[in-house]
Amino acid sequence: MQPKIILFNLILLVLSLPLYAAQEYRGRVVAISDGDTLTILDSNKRQIKVRLAEIDTPESKQPYGSKAKQELSALAYNKTAIVKSQSTDRYKRVVGRVYVGNVDVNAELVRRGSAWVYRQYAKDKSLYALENQARKNRVGLWSLPESEKIPPWEWRKSRRK
């Protein structure tokens, strides 16, 4: 009997994981940590740190890093946001798509040339078209000299060595 209970609980746990991942949060954006991380304050006064899914912005010490943070702030700071959670990362941040009004903030940052599509995690193919258009039009970080256009994941990797 004991193994059946354990198996049943395990099945329940596995089935509940997608429900957690698909959770939606709503709150006022109260902090911008960097170009792809913000904090919302929900109606229960809980602060929820959110990593924008499928994109990666320059780190603060990289060229365009502070500008990417300013762009996210202009789009979301002190505004009501809806976060459609996809997962939780190793830092316990909610990873999701962020919407302010009718604006998909993740996509808008890519369109403005403030973010790369995070190829390792991106599932939304429309983000690639937005990035290609931003590159073609040399907007945002795509206007930088070639030597300064280092994807953040490569920049972080080079710093770890």
Residues annotated catalytic, as ranges: 51, 59, 93
Tell me whether strands 94-100 and 47-52 are parallel, antiparallel or unpaired.
parallel
Residue that is written with structure tokens 């354990």 in the block = 6
Counted residue by residue, the chain has a size of 161
Cα gap 23→86, rounded to integer Å = 8
Question: How many CB atoms neighbour CB 81 within 10 A?
Answer: 21
Cα gap 98→105, rounded to integer Å = 6
For residue 96, what are the CA distances in angstroms to 23, 26, 72, 136, 159? 9, 12, 15, 27, 26
